[in-house]
Amino acid sequence: MIEVKDLARHFGSIEAVKGVTFEVQEGEVFGFLGPNGAGKTTTINMLCTLLRPSSGSARVNGFDVAHQRSDVRRSIGLVFQQSTVDEYLSAEQNLRFHGYAYGISADVREPRMRELLTMVELWDRRKGSVRTFSGGMKRRLEIARGLLHHPRVLFLDEPTLGLDPQTRQHIWTYLHDLRRRENLTIFMTTHYMDEAENCGRIAIIDHGSIVALDTPDRLKDAVGGDLVTFSTADNAAAAQQVRERYHVEPIVQDGQVRFQIAAGETFLPDFVREFPQRLLSVGVRRPTLEDVFLALTGREMRDSELDAKEMLLAGMGRWGR
């Protein structure tokens, strides 16, 4: 559904996207995960024909993003980071404008509007001015609008940025429902780790390059298994014992010993039974995507956001803007 080959884009001397290659299958939820400034939005803008690639190529729904822009546009729906609804119009007027712009006939448009507004629970507010809507309502309206012209691919750029966890959950319920019903392909960017869990596959992007691409589970497996955390009266000695018995490298931090091991849940009962010292606490958890990012880049996402900002500021200076 989406084929991307060596896609790159630079702004002046800054290489925002340094040649990314990937494919997204029909009906898949594909995520771009990375810190702010990693090149996520630049990639999405190229795929939806808002930005011309500096080099490389991309096809969406079989159409080339550089040369068949109108065909690409007709087959995609978009929800941007910032709100793009007209606040001075009503919800209904916003959707109708979209229908006119995409050339949808009234007999298709009106039932579809009803279906989508009902789905995002805005049907009762359809005559209301968008100015009076909350952030979550605006985002839901944008999702409904992005789907009005029956797109094959829905692009979501940070779809739940700035929304509370409950609203985020709500929006994901709609999206999964839609994907099932319309065999919709979803391409999204996010820097929320938990949101990335909604994806079938994830590309982790850092400094404009893809550093890993796989399902969330396999990415986590690649980190080296589950995380076992425990504490004893003497953590330093306990760490030494772990090193000798299981041939792994534990970390002692914040009064706890931590190490990684495959199949942590079956390992844990044996560990508790066999360990020579008295355990004060013990736990096992699956690694999160945060751990994956840390393992791949050696930095935490939050630190990298600072990096990216500095890089951008330095770059802006050079660029003379």
Partner 1 sequence: MSEVWRGTWVVAYREMLRFVSDRSRLLSSFAMPIIFLVVFGAGFTKSMGALAPGVNFIQFMYPGIIAMTVLTSSLFAGISVVWDREFGFLKEILVAPIGRTGIVLGKAAGGTMVALVQALAMLVLAPFLGVALNLKIVLLLIPMVAILSLGLSGLGILIASFMHSQQGFQVLIQILIFPLIFLAGVFFPINNVPVWMEVISKVNPLTYGVDAIRQIFLGSALGLGVTVFGHTMTLLNEVLLVGALGAVLLGAAVLAFNRQE
Query: What is the contact surface with partner 1 in residues (CB under 8 A)?
Result: 48-52, 70, 73-74, 78, 80, 82-89, 93, 97-98, 100-103, 145
Nearer to partner 1, 100 or 319 (CB): 100
Closest CB to partner 1 among 133 and 271?
133
Enumerate residues 6+ apart whose C-beta is below 8 A from 40. 32, 34, 157, 158, 189, 191, 205
Q: Which is nearer to partner 1, 94 or 235 (CB)?
A: 94
Return all residues near 243 (Cβ < 8 A) that are at least 6 apart.
249, 250
CB of 94 to partner 1, least distance (A): 9
Minimum gap (Å) between residue 83 Cβ and partner 1? 5
**Nearer to partner 1 (CB atom), residue 100 or residue 237:** 100
Radius of gyration over every alpha carbon of the chain, rounded to an integer in angstroms: 23
> How many CB atoms within 10 Å of residue 260?
18
Closest CA to 258 of 235, 292, 279, 289: 235
Residue closer to partner 1 (CB basis): 78 or 120 = 78
Closest to partner 1 by CB, 103 or 255: 103
CA-CA distance, 258 to 284, in Å (whole number)?
10
Backbone torsions φ then ψ of 215, nearest 5 degrees: -75, 155
Name the residue nearer to partner 1 (CB basis): 89 or 248.
Answer: 89
CB of 155 to partner 1, least distance (A): 9
Cβ proximity to partner 1, 40 vs 145, nearer residue:
145
- Smallest distance from the beta carbon of 116 to partner 1, in angstroms? 16
Min separation Cβ 53 and partner 1, Å: 11
Cβ at position 6, least distance to partner 1 in Å: 20
Question: Measured from the CB of residue 309, what is the shortest distance to partner 1 in angstroms?
Answer: 21
What is the Cα–Cα distance from 182 to 313, expressed in whole angstroms?
42
